[in-house]
Amino acid sequence: MQAIKLYNFPRSGHAHRVELMLSLLQLPTELVLVDLAKGEHKKPEFLAINAFGQVPVLDDQGVVLADSNAILVYLAKKYGKGRWLPDDPVGAAKVQRWLSVAAGPIAFGPARARLITVFGAPYNPDEVIPYAHSVLKVIDQELANTAFLTGSEPTIADVSAYSYIAHAPEGNVSLEDYANIRAWLARVEALPGFIGMPRTVAGLQKTA
């Protein structure tokens, strides 16, 4: 099997979701660096494969897809052998709910807090950090009775949610009060094929 190309940036949680999924599926992968700091994501050659100018982009033998959650669905459907995305209506809906949470509350909370410290994004930490904690509190409650977000087995919901929650401390969002989340993170990290996202020394991570 030829390697699947992943256009990524190492500190992007969106890109890490896909890199993690490729590794969990043990698929040969060629990483293509898109240097966001140099604006490579806004150059014509990259905009030709994703007009929104965002990483990640996947190229699977000519099948070119953008949007991290959409790519996770594709990989699960094509290579997951039914494990990572349930076919039954209720199971599929539960996964979709968490993909929406990852694209909404997690993106606007933990991910945005990290954007402030790691990338210098002009958001207000006095608003973003409390919101992040409100999101994490709900997720922690949801994980009180399940090993993974949708039940006893991992799905792409967990892959989608993992990166920005695991790296929340980089955005000055502590995970200390969320025992269920920390246990869930450990379970994800114990999955065969797990690979982490490089940590920065931003935020609370300075003293971690």
Find the domain containing 57 and state its range.
Answer: 4-79
Last residue within a domain, chosen from 79, 99, 123: 79
Residues 6+ apart with CB under 8 A from 70: none
The pLDDT score that the predictor gives to residue 131 is: 97
pTM: 0.93
CA 24, CA 192: separation in Å to the nearest integer?
A: 6
Same domain, 113 and 32: no
All residues at 6 or more sequence positions from 3 whose CB lies less than 8 Å from its CB, including other chains: 28, 29, 30
Instruction: Clarify whether residues 60 and 133 are in a common domain.
Output: no
**Cα–Cα dist 193/208, whole Å:** 25
Helix or strand or coil: residue 5?
strand
Per the listing, tokens 């052998």 go with 81
Both tokens of 14, joined, read 């969106």
> Looking at residue 208, what is its pLDDT?
46
Residues of the chain predicted below pLDDT 50: 208
CB atoms within 10 A of CB 81: 8
pLDDT of residue 198: 84
